[in-house]
């Protein structure tokens, strides 16, 4: 489809969406944290919406990421917040409990739900309601330097086997955020561990989770990975050639210095269990404020931003790993190897828990991982996490 | 006193007392009115829903009323729940709720059915500020829901009542003044307590008694000349007060209000947007150590111990380094004093979080500058600074010493300037050694200036959030956290705002005690 044709289609969809809601001249305000190509694409989408709906003007407001959540929680209850906003799904639990976000399942029928990959839509369901429509997904994948690695490892045994050779060249085989739960999650789920049981209760201190933590310690002890690395250092190590591979997400692409030859592939299988290493999945979504002034118009915008033509544009121009299934039929999008890899990884991910309790888990788990990597007992450390989350520190 | 002046004073006192009474009465009125309004509107919607539940047309005016069916979950997507709706007073045909083109009011009844299934029958205002109420109640085949029409608005402020009461009160006070003697305070007290009557009707005995007490208090004070003195002082210092007023108002709004709110929050428990009064539970939990051992970083007393140690180490180092450098800068043989002084003040001029982040990077175990230097000097390799308590604590102290000594140096430099040279000359003539000169001349003269600086510096250090939070981040395992970073964690990592507020109150009390004690000590030292 040509670009002009695309815009035409988008306009047609938008026109049909608005035809059913009475024009009420409230306008729709959307807050986002995008910049660069993502922001340009969003502005382009907003411009074509406004052309078709002069009476329901969509106004975009860029808000710095650091201040975003705090601004929302203070502005929405006072009626000063946006009508829509773009954010990851993992705060839905807390926001739903505080009645900041509007459940949207009322407007969503099966044809709309069918647009999205099931794995991208499910994270937005919480407590029998749907709280937004997905734009894109984010998860870790395996980046590797093609000048140092010819065939990326498909299993963790292959990964460990690469270490001696890498050490001989004075580098690490793999850099990842080993002391952060986000970086550790692929091993945790690959070993069959979990954070919450199916009934929603905390389930951290398990034999599987201890095995996963033991594996992480082995990676450091065997010199496969450096000790104590955070996300920032992963980028530095990879860029300087001191690490041949890195676990990171789509945001990492911008951090790789020009001239570094790289490729990305899905995570390896955990040899001990035969299961794929499964990273956390975050779904970036358009959410509606519970105080939106014109909810029908807001939903029409929400639906428009996440429909197939918009998704194709976002995938092509902003290289978002869009949630729409049909977008990957577009020849340009299908040809993008990076998008294809992250989309393949999507089938082996675990949605980041959206329950408010999760916020209390991150830090104790991080402390436990640090203890374990320094030689502490995994079982004790994980029991400590459970204890702290339940009883407080 | 001349007669008209006496009457004026009586009316003035009556006015002051009435003003306070009016504030109380208005607050009581608005609370009362909102309660009435809420009850009336909710009752209206509830009655409509009950009528629908009985199969009758809804009583009163409604935006929309009818029966919503139980949800049918979509086979593919269990969170998509479809419902149908039979509108009351319609043709009895069911229609589907929802879909991309559904009418706005349908969403209200759809959500009401969901809320009914979660929490049972209810009636409540919509959060959109329209004043409409949604009520839901069980019925055969689903939930009866009614959405009321926007109300005409709550009762008006009772101006007539107030003017009547005020006029009567002024007349009573005036009459008392004219009659003189015991009638004067009696008239004032009666005249000013008139508002207690409507207040009693709106809000019961407690606020009415309060108004009565205000009136009695003013009348009693007026009899002893208290109000004359008060208003006399106000008039005499009119200019000064008008200058102070803006600052006083902004202090009240920006300092006193958050402070009082913080104090009050300490008595509440916060859970998912709701607040529950728990009395002293938060304080008891903190002060009992939360059931943890004394060497556990989760125990308040452990954290307090770390905080005190942290403060003592830092202030001692700040003072020693600051005074030593100040003495050095006073030496006659030193060239380029201005340059050195500027360089030494530099750490103070750079925002402390930037300094903290730089030091954090320098302590990094593999590529940090400090480990590289240690490595070069052959003193150790790859020291993991934040993996044990002593090294992490040292890293914090080093960073904060870097940040803190310039202040003490500047204070000491200023104090040294003020020591008369001839004291040293006389001492030298008498053959005093350098140490004797320092001990008997310099130190006693530094004390009055350093005392308050130490008190202030220790308060800053006690609450030095940035360094702890950015350098060690409490590692390992929260053991290098100080009280204020712990309070932060309660608030923003665990959403326990009540606990955080209780923590803040305890920190405040500790520092208050310390300030009172510290000022007393320094004053005693400065006295002789």
Residues A37-53 have pLDDT tens digits of 899 999 999 999 999 98
Find chain A residues with C-beta within 8 A of B365's C-beta. 227-228
Burial of A287 (0-12, 13-18, 19+ CB in 10 A): buried
Asked if A117 contacts A111 with a C-beta cutoff of 8 angstroms, the reply is no
The yes-or-no verdict on residue B19 having pLDDT over 70 is yes
CB atoms within 10 A of CB A312: 23
Give the SS3 label for residue A21. Answer: coil
User: Nearest C-alpha of chain A: how many angstroms from B95?
Assistant: 14
pLDDT for the residue numbered B528: 47
- Using the beta-carbon criterion (under 8 Å), do A363 and B493 form an inter-chain contact? yes
- The ipTM is 0.80
pLDDT for the residue numbered A191: 95
Mutation site, A56, A81, A128, interface B, largest B CB count within 10 A:
A128
Low-confidence ranges of chain A (pLDDT < 70): 1-25, 392-393
Residue spans per domain, chain A: 3-138+281-350, 141-278+361-391
pLDDT for the residue numbered A25: 63
pLDDT for the residue numbered B180: 79
- Using the beta-carbon criterion (under 8 Å), do B99 and A300 form an inter-chain contact? no
Interface residues of B toward A, Cβ cutoff 8 Å, are 74, 76-81, 97-102, 104, 106-107, 110-111, 114, 127-129, 272-273, 290-291, 297-298, 365-366, 384, 387, 475-478, 489, 493-496, 499
- Using the beta-carbon criterion (under 8 Å), do B79 and A128 form an inter-chain contact? yes
Instruction: Select from B78, B100, B128 the Cβ nearest to the Cβ of A291.
Output: B128
pLDDT for the residue numbered A17: 46
Which of left, alpha, beta for B65 (phi over 0: left; psi -120 to 50: alpha)? beta
3-state percent breakdown (helix, strand, coil) of chain B, nearest 5: 65, 10, 25
pLDDT, average across residues B378-385: 74
The yes-or-no verdict on residue B329 having pLDDT over 70 is yes
pLDDT for the residue numbered A185: 95
Superfamily of domain A3-138+281-350: Periplasmic binding protein-like II (3.40.190.10)
Per-residue pLDDT reduced to its tens digit, B414-462: 888 888 888 888 888 888 888 888 888 888 888 888 888 888 889 889 8
Instruction: Select from B98, B101, B495 the Cβ nearest to the Cβ of A20.
Output: B101
- Closest CA in chain A for residue B101: A20
Instruction: Select from A113, A291, A391 the Cβ nearest to the Cβ of B80.
Output: A113
Under the banding of pLDDT at 50, 70 and 90, the label for residue B88 is confident
Instruction: Select from B81, B102, B290 the Cβ nearest to the Cβ of A392.
Output: B290
CB atoms within 10 A of CB B388: 15
Q: What does the alpha-carbon distance between residue B437 and residue B447 come to, in Å, rounded to a whole number?
A: 15
CA distances from B425 to B107, B413, B428, B430, B445 (A): 91, 19, 5, 9, 16
CA distances from B516 to B29, B400, B454 (A): 43, 25, 13
pLDDT for the residue numbered B526: 58
Find chain A residues with C-beta within 8 A of B127's C-beta. 99, 290-291
Per-residue pLDDT reduced to its tens digit, B182-209: 888 888 888 888 888 888 988 888 889 9
pLDDT > 70 fraction of chain A, expressed in percent and rounded: 93
Q: What does the alpha-carbon distance between residue B98 and residue B179 come to, in Å, rounded to a whole number?
A: 76
- Using the beta-carbon criterion (under 8 Å), do A300 and B100 form an inter-chain contact? yes
Which of left, alpha, beta for A259 (phi over 0: left; psi -120 to 50: alpha)? left
Per-residue pLDDT reduced to its tens digit, B115-152: 888 888 888 888 777 778 888 888 888 888 888 888 77
pLDDT for the residue numbered A59: 92
CA B366 to chain centre: 42
Q: What does the alpha-carbon distance between residue B487 and residue B463 come to, in Å, rounded to a whole number?
A: 11
Q: Which fold has domain A141-278+361-391?
A: D-Maltodextrin-Binding Protein; domain 2 (3.40.190)
Minimal CA–CA distance to B395: which of B451, B473, B291? B473
Q: What does the alpha-carbon distance between residue A245 and residue A144 come to, in Å, rounded to a whole number?
A: 4
Q: Could you please report the per-residue DSSP string of B223-281? A: HTTHHHHHHHHHHHTHHHHHHHHHHHHHHIIIIIHHHHHHHHHTTEEEETTEEEE-TTH
- Using the beta-carbon criterion (under 8 Å), do B111 and A129 form an inter-chain contact? no
Mutation site, B75, B79, B127, B271, interface A, largest A CB count within 10 A:
B79
Residue carrying structure tokens 């600052």: B247
Under the banding of pLDDT at 50, 70 and 90, the label for residue B353 is confident
- Using the beta-carbon criterion (under 8 Å), do A106 and B111 form an inter-chain contact? yes
Q: What does the alpha-carbon distance between residue A31 and residue A14 come to, in Å, rounded to a whole number?
A: 20
- Using the beta-carbon criterion (under 8 Å), do A109 and B98 form an inter-chain contact? yes
Q: What does the alpha-carbon distance between residue A393 and residue A204 come to, in Å, rounded to a whole number?
A: 16
Beta-carbon contacts of residue B142 (< 8 Å; ≥ 6 apart): B67, B68, B69, B70, B113
Domains delineated in chain B: 54-148 (no CATH), 284-526 (1.10.3720.10)
Asked if B342 contacts B514 with a C-beta cutoff of 8 angstroms, the reply is no
The rounded mean pLDDT for chain B is: 85
Beta-carbon contacts of residue A134 (< 8 Å; ≥ 6 apart): A89, A116, A120, A121, A123, A124, A283, A284, A285, A306, A323
Residue carrying structure tokens 């047609």: A12
pLDDT for the residue numbered B317: 94
- Using the beta-carbon criterion (under 8 Å), do B127 and A299 form an inter-chain contact? no
């Amino acid at each position: 489809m040509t670009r002009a044709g695309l815009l035409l289609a988008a306009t047609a969809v938008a026109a049909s969406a608005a035809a059913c809601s009475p024009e009420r001249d409230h306008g729709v305000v959307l807050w986002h944290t995008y910049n660069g190509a993502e922001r340009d694409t969003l502005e382009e989408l907003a411009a074509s919406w406004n052309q078709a709906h002069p009476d329901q003007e969509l106004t975009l407001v860029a808000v710095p990421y650091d201040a975003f959540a705090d601004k929302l929680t203070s502005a929405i209850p006072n009626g000063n917040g946006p009508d829509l906003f773009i954010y990851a799904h993992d705060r839905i639990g807390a926001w739903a409990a505080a009645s900041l976000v509007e459940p949207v399942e009322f407007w969503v029928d099966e044809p709309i739900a069918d647009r999205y990959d099931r794995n991208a839509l499910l994270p937005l369901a919480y407590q029998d309601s749907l709280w937004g429509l997905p734009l894109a997904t984010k998860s870790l994948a395996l980046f590797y330097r093609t000048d140092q690695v010819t065939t990326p490892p498909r299993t963790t045994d292959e990964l460990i086997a690469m270490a001696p050779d890498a050490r001989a060249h004075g580098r690490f085989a793999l850099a990842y955020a080993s002391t952060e739960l986000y970086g550790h999650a692929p091993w945790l789920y690959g070993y069959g561990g979990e954070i919450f049981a199916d009934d929603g209760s905390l389930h951290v201190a398990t034999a599987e989770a201890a095995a996963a933590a033991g594996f992480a310690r082995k990676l450091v002890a065997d010199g496969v990975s450096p000790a104590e690395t955070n996300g920032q250092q992963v980028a530095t190590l990879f860029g300087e050639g001191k690490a041949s591979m890195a676990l990171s997400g789509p945001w990492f692409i911008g951090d790789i210095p020009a001239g570094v030859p790289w490729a990305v592939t899905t995570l390896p299988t955990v040899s001990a269990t035969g299961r794929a290493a499964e990273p956390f999945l975050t779904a970036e979504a358009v959410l509606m404020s519970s105080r939106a002034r014109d909810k029908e118009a807001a939903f029409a915008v929400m639906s428009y931003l996440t429909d197939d033509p918009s998704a194709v544009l976002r995938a092509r121009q902003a290289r978002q790993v869009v949630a729409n299934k049909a977008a990957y039929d577009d020849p340009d999008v299908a040809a993008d190897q990076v998008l294809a890899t992250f989309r393949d990884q999507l089938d082996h991910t675990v949605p980041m828990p959206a329950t408010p309790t999760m916020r209390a888990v991150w830090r104790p788990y991080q402390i436990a991982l640090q203890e374990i990597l320094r030689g502490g007992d995994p079982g004790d450390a994980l029991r400590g996490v459970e204890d702290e989350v339940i009883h407080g520190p | 006193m001349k007669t008209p002046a006496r009457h004026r004073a009586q009316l003035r006192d009556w006015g002051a007392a009435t003003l306070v009474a009016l504030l109380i009465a208005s607050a009581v009125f608005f609370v009362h009115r909102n309660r009435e309004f809420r009850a009336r509107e909710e009752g209206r919607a509830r009655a409509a829903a009950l009528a629908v539940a009985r199969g009758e047309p809804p009583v009163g005016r409604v935006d929309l009323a009818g029966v919503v069916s139980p949800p049918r979950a979509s086979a593919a997507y269990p969170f998509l729940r479809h419902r149908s709706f039979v509108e009351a007073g319609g043709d009895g045909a069911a229609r589907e709720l929802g879909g991309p083109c559904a009418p706005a009011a349908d969403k209200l009844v759809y959500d009401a059915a969901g809320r009914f299934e979660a929490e049972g029958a209810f009636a409540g205002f919509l959060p959109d500020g329209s004043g409409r109420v949604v009520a839901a109640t069980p019925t055969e085949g689903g939930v009866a829901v009614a959405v009321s029409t926007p109300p005409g608005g709550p009762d008006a402020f009772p101006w007539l009542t107030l003017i009547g009461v005020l006029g009567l009160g002024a007349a009573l006070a005036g009459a008392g003044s004219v009659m003189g003697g015991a009638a004067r305070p009696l008239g004032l007290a009666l005249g000013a307590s008139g508002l207690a009557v409507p207040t009693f009707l709106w809000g019961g005995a407690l606020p009415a008694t309060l108004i009565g007490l205000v009136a009695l208090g003013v009348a009693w004070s007026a009899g002893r000349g208290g109000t004359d003195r008060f208003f006399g002082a106000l008039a005499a210092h009119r200019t000064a007060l008008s200058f102070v007023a803006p600052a006083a108002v902004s202090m009240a709004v920006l300092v006193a209000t958050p402070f009082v709110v913080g104090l009050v929050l300490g008595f509440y428990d916060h859970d998912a947007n709701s607040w529950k009064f728990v009395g002293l539970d938060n304080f008891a939990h903190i002060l009992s150590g939360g059931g943890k051992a004394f060497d556990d970083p989760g125990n308040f007393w452990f954290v307090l111990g770390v905080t005190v140690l942290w403060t003592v180490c830092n202030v001692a180092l700040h003072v020693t380094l600051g005074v030593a450098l100040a003495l050095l800068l006073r030496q006659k043989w030193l060239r380029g004093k201005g340059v050195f002084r500027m360089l030494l003040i530099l750490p103070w001029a750079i925002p402390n979080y930037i300094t903290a982040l730089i030091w954090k990077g320098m302590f990094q175990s593999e590529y940090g500058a400090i480990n590289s230097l240690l490595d070069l000097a052959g003193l150790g390799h790859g020291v993991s600074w934040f993996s044990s308590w002593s090294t992490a604590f040292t890293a914090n102290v080093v960073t904060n010493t870097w940040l803190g000594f310039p202040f003490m140096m500047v204070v000491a430099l200023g104090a040294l300037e003020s020591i008369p040279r001839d004291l040293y000359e006389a001492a030298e003539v008498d053959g005093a050694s350098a140490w004797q000169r320092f001990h008997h001349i310099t130190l006693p003269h530094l004390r009055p200036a350093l005392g308050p600086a130490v008190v202030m510096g220790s308060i800053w250090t006690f609450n030095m959030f940035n360094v702890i939070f950015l350098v060690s981040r409490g590692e390992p395992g929260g053991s290098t956290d100080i009280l204020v970073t712990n309070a932060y964690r309660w608030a923003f990592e665990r959403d326990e705002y009540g606990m955080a507020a209780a923590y803040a109150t305890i920190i405040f009390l500790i520092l208050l005690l310390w300030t009172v004690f510290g000022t007393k000590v320094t004053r005693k030292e400065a006295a002789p």
